[in-house]
Amino acid sequence: MPVEIFLARHGQNEDNVAGIIGGHRDRPLTDMGRSQARELAEGIINAGMTFDAVYCSPLIRAHETADIVAEIAGLPKPIVIDDLIERESGIMTGMKIDDIIRDVKTSIIQTEHITYFIDPEGAETFPEMIIRGQKVLDEINKLHTSGKVLLVCHGDIGKMIYAAATGQDWQKVITGFHLGNAELIDLGKHHDAHVIKLEQFNH
């Protein structure tokens, strides 16, 4: 049986609160973000899930989330995979979303929760991220032939890893579901209920 791969987004960090595009900026979790990571860990425990390995982005918001989840849920120490890093945001890095909409030349796709900026100067494109996401999947499948693996990363690259895993068009994926802070998805599930609602196990 092939390895089952699950993916979680990091908890809330300082840039999330400020409405800033973080990209490769390395801002830490907020107290709320740490609480979200603990809730994710408790949901994993209460759902009876376990993982043979945990991998994370090198950025502190993902690494700290992975550390909290692994410690509480009794999982292996997280291992960094550089390709799990968030999208390179180019000139948007460190800018507020409202300022980007006003000042930056870029196409926009608006969803209920997220404004996606498609092609600003210096930014990684979504098709480029799918290629990077496939590299992650290939690496995981070389390292693991069975069991369950958890990847802790970010919203944009997380969705493009999902697109790579499912073969879906990137535009369909970014508009199809919301991957919130410290939420979990099963990359082997190709149905509409993408996000695993672990909160049902926390009561």
Give the neighbor-by-neighbor strand order of the sheet with 195-196: 79-80, 53-56, 148-153, 4-9, 184-186, 195-196
Residue 49 confidence (pLDDT): 95
Average pLDDT over residues 160-168: 95
Give the C-alpha separation, 68 to 40, whole Å.
Answer: 9
Are 171 and 177 within 8 A, CB to CB? no
pLDDT in tens, 112-151: 999 999 999 999 999 999 999 999 999 999 999 999 999 9
- The answer on pLDDT for 203 being more than 70 is no
Residue 1 confidence (pLDDT) above 90: no
Provide the residue ranges of all domains of the chain, joining segments of one domain with +. Answer: 4-202
Q: Which two tokens stand for residue 171?
A: 């535009």
The structure's pTM equals 0.95
Superfamily of structural domain 4-202: Phosphoglycerate mutase-like (3.40.50.1240)
- The pLDDT assigned to 199 comes to 58
